[in-house]
Structure 1
Amino acid sequence: MTDEFLEVQRPRMPNFVHIGSLGLEDENDSGKLDKNTAKEMEKGEDGIVYFSLGTTMNSSMLQPFVMRTVLGAAKKFPDYHFIIKIDAHDQTAKEFSKGVDNVFVTDWVAQRALLKHPRLRAFITHSGYNGIVESAMCGVPLVTIPFMFDQIRNSLAVEQGGWGVGLTKEALRDDPKMLQTALNEVLSNDRYKKMAMRMKNLLKTKPFKAKERLVKYTEFVLSNGGMKELIAPSRHLSIIKLYNLDVYLFLITTIFVFIYIPLKLTSVALFKTNRKKHKTR
């Protein structure tokens, strides 16, 4: 599932339909912040920065430098309060957070409710697709740190959309200051917030919601016995034609016949000529 506004743009077949925000469009289904988190959201003179690696990536399984760099960056922004979401078994992150006054470490948070909070200024994320969609729907600028799979593409889509700054996970190890620089860019440059709000408006005002598209196009396809008219002819090509193997074979043969063989013959001729001269001497 993808959303056309949250994708790296590229040519697509006409039988491709976007339903990326399916299940996330109901604004009343965002839940509520618990009392502790709600209280933490009032801290920080300049607002809140949220960090999370989602629900499937356990922070306790990461190398220590990841959380050390994140918490080290938090120290550099004393006017912001950081909500750091980790898994319950991450004792390393808890140790690193000791003595950092502007950090609240927790193993659970109602993410959609937090993203909608007016005091949230930025979200440091691993670029999981649900988090990207939720952030876009709430108009929250991002600092993305992709780790695997589709996260790299999601991060690139955010950068291309102009509502976030991307880092590689290796940067957290090789140059920890890059996280500080990226976060400072997002917090101090208004254009990221403006582009995030534009993304929110684009998703909110789309003429057809994901659920409508799913239902209507499914009914459309079923009532017409499939959509063979939209199938690309390449589906029926042989492997040789599909990957132009015949063209490559022709080029390789041409190079072999007109370049390699003449060079080889010339080399042999020169070798024999030199050999005769050597015998004559």
Structure 2
Amino acid sequence: MAQLSKNTFSVSLWITVMIIFGSLCDGGKILVAPLEGSHWVNMDILIKALHGQGHTVDVIRNTNSWFVKENSTYYNSITIPDSKGMDEEFVEDVLTKKIDYERGKGSWLGGVQLFLDVSKAVYESHKLVCRLITNIFESEDILKALQEKKYDLMLTDPGWGTGIILAHKLKLPMVYNVRWTTPGEGHFDIAPSPMSYIPLTGSGNTDKMSFFQRVINVFYYLLLDFQCSRFNVPQYQALCDKYFDPPVDFYKLLQGADLWLMRVDFVFEFPRPTMPNIIYTGGFQCTPTKPLPHDLEDFMQSSGDHGVIVMSLGSFISVLPDYVSSEIAAAFARLPQKVIWRYTGKKPSTLGNNTLLVDWMPQKDLLGHPKTKLFIAHGGTNGVQEALYHGVPVIGIPFFFDQYDNLIRLQARGGAKIVSLAELGENSLHAAIQEVINEPSYRLNMQKLSYLHRDKPVEPLDSAIFWIEFVMRHKGAAHLRTESYKMPWYSYHSVDVSVTLIAVVLIFIYSMFVTVRYLCIKCCSRKRKTE
């Protein structure tokens, strides 16, 4: 009888818990406007987690989307007709020009031309995004279908403006999965950002800058501001002017997101001012190590005490010019370690027996394997975060965009060494590998960073999901948003207050001067009359 009562109580308790927590996890409808490449890789993880919580997720994609697949078991795709995005040709063209310039095949004029070519490519990518938005707005069927879905939330990556403009049209609360926005690094759009100790993307600076480095920092700020304010943002502003009445300011729409899920934390990022609606979820894509496939596990174990080096240049870069890949392979062939290299190009003639070429690798599980001694990477945010999570030292070969800046952050903390494309060769790469593997400080520093990164009360992915659902439950998070983005620049920087106070002081000084002058004149006049 006592056992029966106990079982009845257990069943009642279980039902009560299911009712309580079931009511907190009612499935919502989420519209997602993602980016391609590595941006999609971590957005995909968020989408899977949201689907696991019972939410319905719809994802907007181009007709030629490189990464966002049309068919999926955990999201519904909305393919916009006659819309194209950047593809492999876009990346390969920029990569070839970058390598040729860095390897000494171009003059300083070539460097200027490279900057113009990259700027043009970025401009064209935003132009394609604007075309996608136009196709949505010009199609009554698509727009009506989106409105009838009655979504609860827009989840988007603000590197492109699709989600920002569409959220305003559909009147949805908006959450960012963010590191970069259309104008640049996300913090600069809403948080105070003193350039005296906060490095600009592309500057190559850390948070400890000399006078000359601070000059460079300001120069990069002005350069990025000019590029975005004159070329990229105006494309989206033109759409706002055309489709919204009354017109709205695109940049204010961008700043007005309810929540910013920032893909870094302050173990990785340099300390800086922040805002209440920025939630740090750095490393949310990282997971504990899973067993490797048998063939890879056998390869890892065959390395003995020397261990294994893992090399991957990310989702965008899987093919290199033959002369570059041959030098890398030759450096690997001289090592006692074994190497797993994700590479889909032509097999280098200098490839050694110790190197395994693969089309795909379980990167996170390889980095967490005890035999892994070193990670050679291009410096993408996902890769460096995974290396940090597992405490594996890094040799970075940055190519473009934010990669050098990401690697600078690890190098400044003693966990990485950068080998530029200009320096990259058989001897330089071999020397760098020997240094990082044989100098214990690299691994010790990365293990310390790993411990700091993991030592937190809530897992980053759980935090991200909680805050997304928080915005859905409360129809936004206006109480966390600062009003600063609605202020004109002269009010934000208190220029109007400063001018007023200076005017008051000047008026007071002038009044005192006039008064003293008047009294002096009166005194002198009386003195003359007396005489």
TM-score relative to the length of structure 1 = 0.72
Q: How many residues align?
A: 233
Query: Partner residue of 1:46?
Result: 306
Which of the residues 304, 321, 329 maps onto 1:71? 329
Greater RCO structure (CA 8 Å; 6+ sep): 1
Which of the residues 403, 408, 425 maps onto 1:156? 408
- Specify whether residues 222 and 182 from structure 1 end up closer, same or farther in structure 2 by C-alpha distance, changes over 3 A only: same
Aligned partners of 2:326 and 2:348 also within 8 Å: no
Aligned partners of 1:127 and 1:152 also within 8 Å: yes
Q: What is the percentage of aligned positions where both structures have the same residue?
A: 26
Deviations 1:139-178 (A, max 9, x none): 1111111212232222112112321112222322xx5533
Secondary structure class of the residue paired with 2:432: helix
Aligned partners of 1:31 and 1:110 also within 8 Å: no
Aligned partners of 1:52 and 1:86 also within 8 Å: yes
- CA shift, 1:245, in A, is 10
Query: Partner residue of 2:185?
Result: none
Structure 2, gaps ≥5 residues long: 1-261, 497-531
**Partners in 2 of 1:51 and 1:118 — Cα distance?**
16
- Specify whether residues 117 and 209 from structure 1 end up closer, same or farther in structure 2 by C-alpha distance, changes over 3 A only: same
Instruction: Please say which of residues 107-116 and 183-192 is displaced more in the overlay.
Output: 107-116
Query: Partner residue of 2:263?
Result: 2
Q: Note the aligned Cα RMSD (angstroms).
A: 2.7
**1:22 and 2:284 correspond:** yes
**Partners in 2 of 1:156 and 1:163 — Cα distance?**
10
Query: Partner residue of 1:204?
Result: 454
- CA shift, 1:122, in A, is 0.4
> Which residue identity does 1:21 align to in structure 2?
G
**1:80 and 2:337 correspond:** yes
**Partners in 2 of 1:245 and 1:178 — Cα distance?**
52
Secondary structure class of the residue paired with 1:165: strand
**Partners in 1 of 2:330 and 2:269 — Cα distance?**
32
**Partners in 2 of 1:242 and 1:179 — Cα distance?**
49
Which residues of 2 match residues 168-207 of structure 1 at below 5 A? 168-172=420-424, 176-207=426-457
Secondary structure class of the residue paired with 2:279: coil
Instruction: Please say which of residues 231-240 and 132-141 is displaced more in the overlay.
Output: 231-240
Which of the residues 92, 95, 106 maps onto 2:349? 95
Aligned partners of 1:94 and 1:105 also within 8 Å: no
**Partners in 2 of 1:32 and 1:109 — Cα distance?**
13
**1:146 and 2:398 correspond:** yes
- Specify whether residues 70 and 9 from structure 1 end up closer, same or farther in structure 2 by C-alpha distance, changes over 3 A only: farther
Deviations 1:53-89 (A, max 9, x none): 1233222xx2223312321221332x211122212xx
- Specify whether residues 208 and 104 from structure 1 end up closer, same or farther in structure 2 by C-alpha distance, changes over 3 A only: same
Query: Partner residue of 1:278?
Result: none
**Partners in 1 of 2:316 and 2:380 — Cα distance?**
9
- Specify whether residues 94 and 198 from structure 1 end up closer, same or farther in structure 2 by C-alpha distance, changes over 3 A only: same
- CA shift, 1:8, in A, is 3.8
**Partners in 1 of 2:484 and 2:423 — Cα distance?**
41
**Partners in 1 of 2:387 and 2:277 — Cα distance?**
28
Aligned partners of 1:52 and 1:125 also within 8 Å: yes
**Partners in 1 of 2:461 and 2:339 — Cα distance?**
35
Secondary structure class of the residue paired with 1:158: helix
Aligned partners of 2:283 and 2:389 also within 8 Å: no
Deviations 1:211-256 (A, max 9, x none): 332233345555666444544454123356668999xxxxxxxxxx
> Which residue identity does 2:385 align to in structure 1?
V
- Specify whether residues 145 and 208 from structure 1 end up closer, same or farther in structure 2 by C-alpha distance, changes over 3 A only: same
**Partners in 2 of 1:37 and 1:223 — Cα distance?**
45
- Specify whether residues 52 and 23 from structure 1 end up closer, same or farther in structure 2 by C-alpha distance, changes over 3 A only: closer
